Amino acid sequence: MREESRMAIKVTVWCTSLMMTLTTVTGWTPSNDLKEYCFPNSFNASCGPNDVILMGSARYGRMREGKCLSTALHIGCWADVLSHVDRKCSGRHECIIGIPDTTLQNLQPCPKDMFAYLEASFTCLPAGSGVSSHSGWSPSGHFKQQQSIACFRPRTSKIPKRYIITELQRLQ
């Protein structure tokens, strides 16, 4: 078994154990509670001093009629912006994204003169303990695919960081 595979298995087991412990001991469960954030409001995620934000989902565009849209004009155009919002927010104690957001606006396919909004979910996750990570290219030159997991380690500096676990995947 390759070293990368052994490390990925160890980390997966550790994270699964951490998630089961969090659920059992603290009652923590991931949130799938989607909320709409529209102009002139902001997406404002905030967790306690011992917790960090973990983004569950994020879409930007004109998904449906509701809180942010009163007419069904250009409904159904949106972009999955989780990777962008995840980089901005996950692993931090607090995160604010103003609506409209220039970066998100440029990522979505809707007409640019139409109001778009953010639909997102997050949860506060207690910080865990250390996990090592790796990413990049394997010695054989094959790309290691990155896969996010919800494991955090406290740092002595300000904010815990999310770890990326990698798996070796041959490009075909």
CB 37 within 8 A of CB 118: yes
User: What tens-digit pLDDT sequence spans the chain (172 residues)?
Assistant: 566 545 544 544 444 444 444 444 444 444 558 899 999 999 999 999 899 999 999 999 999 988 998 888 888 999 999 999 999 999 999 999 999 999 999 999 998 888 899 999 999 988 763 333 333 333 444 333 333 344 543 333 333 344 333 322 323 3
CB 91 within 8 A of CB 131: no
DSSP state of 158: S
CA dist 38 and 73 (Å) reads: 16
The domain limits of the chain are 3-168
CA–centroid distance for 168 within its chain: 22
CATH fold of 3-168, please? Jelly Rolls (2.60.120)
CA dist 39 and 163 (Å) reads: 32
